[in-house]
Structure 1
Amino acid sequence: MNAELVEETRWRRRASAPWRGFKLGLLGIPAVFVNVWFGTVLFLVTSFAGVLLLPGATLLMRNLTNMYRDLIGRWTGVRIERPYLPDPEFEPGMAGLLRRFVARISDPATWRDYLWLVADPIVVAFTAALPGWCVLYGLWGYFVAGYGGGLITKYGGSDWYALIQVDDGYARDAERVVSTVVIATLFIVVGFLIAPRMLAVYGRWGRSLLGPTEKSRLALRVRQLTETRSEAVDASAAELRRIERDLHDGAQARLVAMGMSLGAIEHLLDKDPAKARTLLAETRASSAKALHELRDLVRGIHPPVLADRGLGDAVRALALDHPLHAEVTVDLDGRPEPPVESAAYFAVSEILTNAAKHSGAGRVWIDLRHERGMLRITVTDDGRGGATLAGGSGLRGIERRIGTFDGVLAVNSPVGGPTIVTLELPCALSSPKTSPS
């Protein structure tokens, strides 16, 4: 991996940390209004109007807190899962309305969301938003020292900047002006220094309330297993159809043609040996093509280098054939289980294909290592960035595929690059490595 790109990204995130926290603080404004509206609906909950309005008010609150979860994950690095228990299937009429009302009011996540809306405007002001206010206060100090102090006193005003009084004599007092600049600089420096730590604190606060409880985690786990099982079955069925189609259209058709050619050769051996030799040559060429197609098919199912040499050497083979200049770093003390190894290999292959097609990159770095029971793979390119998991992109397909193994995928791809795609799959390494890394 290119250390300079990683370092550049780290410093870019550090420099933008105060503004990210400040924007999180601004979300406290709509939070107050949603909090007031939800509290009003709760006050009416003993009436028919409350029963009618609560599902919609809950949905509004969930939409806002889901936005918080996404932004906290993107701006603080603390990933927060959605904690909500599944809603009952929709039923028309009063019975369906009551079921939905009971389900949402009995979901612990609803009350945790409400507690978040009540407390967050205060908490965010002293955590994530505090560095942004420090930087803004420091910039205001520069303005006061350079121009604002004279402007204030010109119109008969009087103010304080920190412990420094801005009055009639301020603009002529060099000591006070210099002190203002020094204090303003300290505020800015402190703002930038504490911003990453304050964002981390705010992220943990968000996860403590907006994350799933044990009950909802169990329900979500059951739903995830159901979905991943269904996706695995669908993927297996699609792969079988692809194999059948490739066999039918390729090797099978050639083998049928070879059988017909051999039958014709039997009849021509005595009558027209020259024609028979021509057909034999064509049949031999067809057999070579059929063998090549069968090898390609087997390689697409499970590459021989992956079976023989393991994930590290298989990824190196991918890098050698890749159109971009690829560097591979492998730190694996053994081999994952074959299904995990195969999923990781094809995920890396898909990411490299996407990088070649869409990134506009010239170089790509691949890092494979095993840490704390997780196979961690990082693919970095120096392209134009802008990659997302939205829609039906290839990255979303990779996420679904590794989700079968409880794997997760994260994408950090600011516009302008670089793009960093990270995969983590829980696994154990079962045997010594067979090749040096």
Structure 2
Amino acid sequence: MTTNTESGSPTGRARAVALAAGRGFVLALVTLPPAVVLYTLTLVSLALVPVGVGAYTTPWLLTGVRVFADRRRMLAAEWAGVRIPASYRPLPEGAGPWARTYAMLRDPAVWRDLRWLQVDMTAGFVTALLPAALVLYPLEGLAVAAGLWRPFSASGGYWYGFVHVTGQASALAAGALAVVLLGLSPLAPRLLAAHFRLTRAVLGASQGELAERVRVLTETRRDAVDTSAAELRRIERDLHDGAQARLVAMGMDLGTIEALVDRDPAKAKELLARTRRSSADALTELRDLVRGIHPPVLAERGLGDAVRALALRLPVATEVNVELSGRADAPVESAAYFAVSEVLTNAVKHSGADRIWIDLHQAEEERGGTLRISVTDNGRGGAVIGAGTGLAGVERRLATFDGVLAVSSPAGGPTMVTMEIPCA
């Protein structure tokens, strides 16, 4: 309540106007030169991409543009409460300059940044300077009325707006105009907010991109529902054909044992032994079923140890390298685990490899980072997404979490399957 009262008082309003004018002045004069330099150098670098030089300079310059845009996003949130979310695509880890350049140039957010630089150097500069002009220009008019016009009287007078000041009477007219303009100075905070709304209009995602995003999300969520339904049917089938059938048989055997225990103890003992074996088999099947739903080691010890345990059960020599700074959310870990499991199953069944390498790495970023997993084998190669190898299912599983799947598998091998999943 104290803050609201203070901001509604004349002193609070004057402070807000002065603050908006100062911030607009800083934006107009301090950010314009970097925008011009970044835009010019980026155009030159893009022109040099075909000859090879631009492939090395463009990623650095586009990263600088991104940092510059992120700085404006932060100022928009802090100074005007205007939120401008960033929507950059993740860059491939360990990629060369050509791959990084093409990946960045395929990102619509990068081209939005460049269009924003054009706007920021023109309309953005004007809208940033207006709050300061609404405060400083009336002060100049009052100074003219107080006698600032006198040094210019010998050279034809002084122009203030549309008032030609040649004497004290016209100077007072200029002062009256300054008072009128000074009455508009409370609009300075709104003009500063208008500058940031203009920034949001250019830097924000377009309606077409949002529609495409909704379409992708709808498709991936539908795939997730279909996958969940198929998983439930599998669990029901496994229970019906496995543990449930054994439990029914055990119940019948126990009934028979109850009838034989007095008149044929030897036969009853034989049935008891068989029932004990059936109970052990049913317990094993239930454990396998639970492991297929959510492995206990994954819940207790995390993705790294779960993948190591998975590798120990493979008939192929497997090396696992884990570089994880922490644990991701449980759904992300589960999706990653079963994706790795499916890829390893494909490698064992179809590749003919005698060695497999698994690397788990977490890239630290702002929103939780990205989980990057690569599975490499020395098999015959030729793996293709959608060719019946199960990789299409892995791709759908990862897409539910905005993850991506990349496969490099030339004929003759080796095969490298790379998966990236946002941790947030």
TM-score normalized by the length of structure 1: 0.51
After TM superposition, the structure 1 = structure 2 runs for residues 207-286 of structure 1, keeping only pairs within 5 Å, are 207=107, 214-286=206-278
- In structure 1, the residue matched to 2:358 is 366
- In structure 1, the residue matched to 2:382 is 386
Equivalent of residue 403 in structure 1, options 399, 402, 417: 399
Equivalent of residue 410 in structure 2, options 398, 414, 417: 414
Say whether the 8 Å CA contact 1:379–1:421 is kept in structure 2. yes
Offset at 1:385? Answer: 2.3
Alpha-carbon distance in 2 for matches of 1:409, 1:267: 60
- In structure 1, the residue matched to 2:292 is 300
Alpha-carbon distance in 1 for matches of 2:99, 2:332: 34
Alpha-carbon distance in 2 for matches of 1:198, 1:312: 32
Amino acid at match of 2:297: V
Amino acid at match of 1:396: A
Amino acid at match of 2:311: A
Offset at 1:305? Answer: 1.4
1:36-58, Cα deviation, whole Å (9 max, x unpaired): xxxxxxxxxxxxxxxxxxxxxxx
Amino acid at match of 1:258: M
The structure-2 alpha-carbon separation of the partners of 1:240 and 1:199, relative to structure 1 and needing over 3 Å to count, comes to: closer
Amino acid at match of 1:264: T
Does residue 313 of structure 2 align to residue 317 of structure 1? no
Alpha-carbon distance in 2 for matches of 1:258, 1:297: 19
SS in 2 for 1:367: strand
Say whether the 8 Å CA contact 1:232–1:404 is kept in structure 2. yes
Offset at 1:245? Answer: 0.8
The structure-2 alpha-carbon separation of the partners of 1:230 and 1:251, relative to structure 1 and needing over 3 Å to count, comes to: same
Offset at 1:248? Answer: 0.8
Q: How many residues align?
A: 242
The structure-2 alpha-carbon separation of the partners of 1:285 and 1:211, relative to structure 1 and needing over 3 Å to count, comes to: farther
Say whether the 8 Å CA contact 1:228–1:404 is kept in structure 2. yes
SS in 1 for 2:261: helix
TM-score normalized by the length of structure 2: 0.52
Alpha-carbon distance in 2 for matches of 1:298, 1:206: 43
Alpha-carbon distance in 2 for matches of 1:319, 1:357: 15
Backbone CA RMSD of aligned residues:
2.7
Say whether the 8 Å CA contact 2:346–2:389 is kept in structure 1. no
- In structure 2, the residue matched to 1:84 is none
1:79-109, Cα deviation, whole Å (9 max, x unpaired): xxxxxxxxxxxxxxxxxxxxxxxxxxxxxxx
After TM superposition, the structure 1 = structure 2 runs for residues 3-152 of structure 1, keeping only pairs within 5 Å, are 127-128=49-50, 130=51
Equivalent of residue 279 in structure 2, options 283, 287, 296: 287
> Which structure 1 residue ranges, 4+ long, deviate > 3 Å from structure 2?
123-128, 196-213, 390-393
Offset at 1:416? Answer: 3.0
- In structure 1, the residue matched to 2:12 is none
Q: Determine what percentage of the aligned residue pairs are the same residue.
A: 66
Alpha-carbon distance in 2 for matches of 1:294, 1:402: 27
Alpha-carbon distance in 2 for matches of 1:202, 1:253: 57
- In structure 2, the residue matched to 1:165 is none
SS in 2 for 1:414: coil
- In structure 2, the residue matched to 1:339 is 331
Alpha-carbon distance in 1 for matches of 2:307, 2:347: 15
Structure 2: gaps spanning 5 or more residues: 1-44, 53-95, 113-204
Q: Could you tell which deviates more after superposition, 356-365 or 372-381?
A: 356-365
- In structure 2, the residue matched to 1:423 is 419
Does residue 345 of structure 2 align to residue 353 of structure 1? yes
1:50-80, Cα deviation, whole Å (9 max, x unpaired): xxxxxxxxxxxxxxxxxxxxxxxxxxxxxxx
Alpha-carbon distance in 1 for matches of 2:247, 2:325: 44
Offset at 1:125? Answer: 9.8
Say whether the 8 Å CA contact 2:104–2:110 is kept in structure 1. no
1:267-302, Cα deviation, whole Å (9 max, x unpaired): 112222222122111111111111111111111111
The structure-2 alpha-carbon separation of the partners of 1:211 and 1:382, relative to structure 1 and needing over 3 Å to count, comes to: farther
Amino acid at match of 2:291: R
Alpha-carbon distance in 1 for matches of 2:267, 2:343: 51
- In structure 2, the residue matched to 1:178 is none
SS in 1 for 2:328: coil
Amino acid at match of 2:312: L
Alpha-carbon distance in 1 for matches of 2:399, 2:328: 16
The structure-2 alpha-carbon separation of the partners of 1:259 and 1:339, relative to structure 1 and needing over 3 Å to count, comes to: same
SS in 2 for 1:236: helix
The structure-2 alpha-carbon separation of the partners of 1:211 and 1:324, relative to structure 1 and needing over 3 Å to count, comes to: farther
Bigger CA radius of gyration? 2
Offset at 1:210? Answer: 12
Offset at 1:361? Answer: 2.2
Say whether the 8 Å CA contact 2:105–2:111 is kept in structure 1. no
Amino acid at match of 2:229: A
The structure-2 alpha-carbon separation of the partners of 1:242 and 1:272, relative to structure 1 and needing over 3 Å to count, comes to: same
SS in 2 for 1:405: coil
Say whether the 8 Å CA contact 2:377–2:415 is kept in structure 1. yes
Say whether the 8 Å CA contact 1:127–1:198 is kept in structure 2. no
Offset at 1:334? Answer: 1.6
Does residue 322 of structure 2 align to residue 330 of structure 1? yes
Structure 1: gaps spanning 5 or more residues: 1-122, 132-195, 429-437
